[in-house]
Structure 1
């Protein structure tokens, strides 16, 4: 995959940085749930809570329920599709993910 620049937290837009750790934990917990890995779900739930991911988000992920946060829900849906379909997601799922990520951060993030 040439032509794609590698990014990390240091070059992410300042407004997006609070979402990065939460999004990582959403991916990891969702994959653990989809794979039925109780250890993974427990470990990443603990890490998510330590990273200040709201408890209601962690509980929803563990129960395989939709998230209220539109951007994190988009991450959850795409991750779930990637895991259960072994990477074969359709264009509509990718477009839905990208559309959710384009919403302004201020409208996606609730709370302090």
Structure 2
């Protein structure tokens, strides 16, 4: 249970700070070749993944967060526990999917 809670906090923290499994961040610290999204030509930033990249639209829909904008994300999350969990679910699901894709690329 403790590990699950730590993982959830970690994914939301990465989403809120931009310091995580995002190509632009990893590129900036010398851990990735390019800052662009592997699915389109945009820089892979938190904003791109959370709000714009079509690759993650299904995840936004499943989490019920389609239509959010950067300006209202924090207020949305703090409005209810369900909203917080929706963003948390998006962060966890996209993080896991991205890690799986990265592992496939390494082979």
TM-score after normalising by structure 1: 0.32
TM-score after normalising by structure 2: 0.33
